[in-house]
Structure 1
Amino acid sequence: MRVHFRHVLCATDFSEHANRTIPYGVAIAREFDARLYVCHVVDLSAVAIYGEFQLDPVGQQERIRRQARELLEKTPGLENVAWEPVIRFGNPAGEIARLVEEKQLDLVIASTRGHSGLKRLILGSVTQRLIRTLPCPVLAVQSPPEGFIDPEGGGIRLQKILVGIDFSADAENALRYGLSLAQEFEAEVHILHVMEPPVYPEFLTPTEQTQDLLQVDAVKDRLEALVPAEARVWCTPRATVLRGQAYEELVAYAVAREMDMIVLGVRGHGLVKSLLLGSTTDRVVRRAPCPVLAVGSPAAE
C-alpha cells in the first residue's frame, strides 16, 4: 500500500537545530501536496527564552502567543508552501499528541536537538517521547537538510533508504513505509537485520560454525521473503545480516553506504525486546547521519 502524507506537523522551539525541521516539512508538504502545520508549544515552566515572565494568565500568555507567531512568520522558507501556525501552552509532548488527533496528522517532524544545555536535553526527551507514544510516524532530524532536499528544484532527494528489521509488526510496517518511499522517489532499499554474535566465537566447533552460517542464511532468506513480489518489479532490495550491537551496526551501515534515510519500527517482540528495540531506536536517532523515520504498528495509525 502506498503511503501518502496529507497532514504534516513541524515542531520547533526556535533554536537553530529545531528550525531545521521546517525545510524538511516544506519539502514533504510540497511533494505530497500536504497541509503543513508549524507548531511551537510554550512550556510555562521554562519560558526564559521570552524574557521575564510574571504570572498574568491572560495578558502574559497573549503576549507570548504574539511573539511566537511573529517568530514563525519570519521563518525563512515558509513562503513557498501553504502552512498554518499553531501555538499551544502546556507540556510539549502532550500538546503535540493532542494535535495529532485534532488535525489527523500523518507525520510529525521533530529535532533531536534544541537550545543548548537543559533545553537541548528537554527537546531531545520530547522527541523520544513522541516516537514512543504517537500513533503516527515521527521523522527525527538533526542534520541540515542539504542532502535531503534538491538545492535546485527544492524537491526531496532520496536515493538510498535503510530499513532496520527485527521481524516485529512495527518493523514490518516500517518496511512498508520504506518501500513506499523508495517507489515514490525511485530509491534503493537496503534491509538490515542485526543478530547477536556468539558469546565465544573463537571456541565454536566446525559443526557449530556451519550451523551459525546456516542460521545467517536462513535469516537473510526470511528478510527477502518480507518484500512483496510487486515491489520487486520496480526495485531490487538489498538484504543484509550483520552481527553486533544493533544501533552500532545500523549507524555504521548508514555512514558507510551514505544512506539518505533510516526507517525503524518503534517496538519489537514482547516486553523485553520492545524495551531493547526502543533503546536501539533512541540510540540510532541520536547518532544517525541522516533523518530517521520511526514507525509504529499499523493498528496505532
Structure 2
Amino acid sequence: MKIHFKRILCATDLSDFSNLAVAQAIEMAKEFGARLYICHVIDLPMVSMHGAAFVYPDNQIEEMKTGAMEQIKRLVGDNDLSWEAIVETGPVSTTLCRLAADRHADLAIVSTHGRTGIKRLFLGSVTERLLRTVACPLLVVTPPEKASGGEQPFKGFGFKQILVGCDFSNDSQNAVDYGFSLAQEFEAAIHLVHVVEPFVYRDTMLPDNTEIETLDAVSAGSQKRLETLVPEDAHNWCEVHIASESGKPFMALKAYADTHQIDLIVLGVRGHSLVETMLLGSTTDRVIRGVACPVLSVCPL
C-alpha cells in the first residue's frame, strides 16, 4: 500500500527545539507535494485573584497572535510550498485535534521535550495526549540530546534506516504498511523487529534449559511471521532486515535503534485507560521518551 501525504499539520510552541518540527514538516511537505498547516496554539491560563477571574484583553491576544504569525512566516522563509499559518487560543491538545480534523490532515508533526517521572505522571504532555486522540499518524521529533554513547543525534531530513516495531496486532500491521511505503519513498532500508518478553512465556516449573529452548522456538517462530509481512516485491526496491529481540519492548527497540543507527521508528499506537497511561505508559510513549530519532505513531484505522 503506497501512502502519499497530502495535508500535513505541524504544531509548534515557537521555541527553538519545537521549531525543529517545523523544519521537518517543511521538508516532508516538499517531498510529498503536500499542503502544510503550521499551527501555534496560545494556551491562556485562567488567573483568579480575590475570587475574580482575570481575562486577557482582546488587544493583547491579537498582539500575541500577530507576533506568532510573523515568527511562523520567518520559519517558512522562501521555501517553495503550499502552506498556511494558523494561530488560535485554547487548550493545546484539544485545539490541535480539532484543527487536524477540520483540515483533514493525514499526518501531524510535533516535537516533544520527553518528560519523565513526576512531571509526566501528573501533567502528561501534549504529545502523549495527541498520541491517543489525534485521528491521523503522528510524527514526533525527539530531543537530540537523548542520543547516547556514540550514537549521532538526528540531523537534517531524509530517512535511510527505518525500524518498524511489530507485535503482530492490527496496530502494528498498520505500522508495517507505513514503514514499507516510507522505505520505498526514501529508498531506505527497513528493519522489522519483534520483541519477545521472557516473562510472558516463562513457566517457573520448567527447567532452565527447557525455558531457553521455549524462548528460542518462540523467537524462530516470530522471525517466520515477520517474513510473511514483507510485500512480495519489496526486495526489489529496499533492503529488508528481520530481527527477533528479547527483553522489555521499549528497551529492546531503543537498543536496536542505537546499534543500527536508525533514523526513523514506526510504531502502532493503542489507546489506554487514564490509570494505565499514567502509571505504565505504552511502548510507543516510552520509545519516544528514550530515543534521539523521530518516531511515527500510526493510529488504528
Q: TM-score, normalised by structure 2?
A: 0.83
2:16 is equivalent to residue 8 of structure 1: no
Q: TM-score, normalised by structure 1?
A: 0.83
- Provide Cα deviations, 1:143-172, integer angstroms capped at 9, x if missing partner: 4698453xxxxxx42110000011111111
Q: Which moved more, 1:211-220 or 1:19-28?
A: 211-220
Superposed CA RMSD in Å reads 3.2
- 1:267–1:278 CA contact under 8 A, matched in 2: no
Q: Where does the alignment leave 5 or more consecutive residues of structure 2 unmatched?
A: 48-53, 145-151
> Whole-Å Cα distance in 1 between the matches of residues 269 and 165 of structure 2?
11
Contact 2:138 2:297 in 1 (8 A): yes
> Counterpart of 2:139 in 1: which secondary structure?
strand
Per-residue displacement from partner, 1:199-234 (whole Å, max 9, x unpaired)? 589x73434433331221011101111112132332
Tell me the secondary structure at the aligned position of residue 190 of structure 1.
strand
- Map 1:145-224; keep pairs closer than 5 Å: 147-149=154-156, 156-198=157-199, 204-224=207-227
8 Å CA contact 1:9–1:38 kept in 2: the answer is yes
Name the CA distance, whole Å, in 2 between partners of 1:19 and 1:100: 19
- On the 8 A contact 1:6/1:34 being kept in 2, the answer is yes
1:112–1:140 contact (8 Å) kept in structure 2? yes
Distance 2:124 2:12 in 1: 12
8 A contact 1:26–1:78 mirrored in 2: no
Deviation at 1:20, TM superposition (A): 0.9
In structure 2, the residue matched to 1:51 is none
Query: 2: distance between equivalents of 1:221 and 1:277?
Result: 30
Relative to structure 1, the CA distance from residue 230 to residue 128 in structure 2 (aligned partners, 3 Å threshold; closer, same or farther) is: same
Whole-Å Cα distance in 2 between the matches of residues 277 and 189 of structure 1? 29
Kindly state the Cα deviation for residue 197 of structure 1 after the two structures are TM-superposed.
1.6
- Segments of 5+ residues of structure 1 without an aligned counterpart are 48-53, 150-155
Answer whether contact 1:106 1:137 (CA < 8 A) is retained: yes
Going from structure 1 to structure 2, the CA distance change for 1:78 and 1:165 (only over 3 Å counts) comes to farther
The answer as to whether partners of 1:148 and 1:158 remain within 8 angstroms in 2 is: no
Match of 1:153 in 2: none
Classify the secondary structure of the residue corresponding to 1:80: coil
The whole-number CA distance in structure 2 between the counterparts of 1:44 and 1:280 is 32
- CA deviations over 1:34-91 (Å, ceiling 9, x no partner): 11111100101189xxxxxx6245323222211211222232x442133211001101
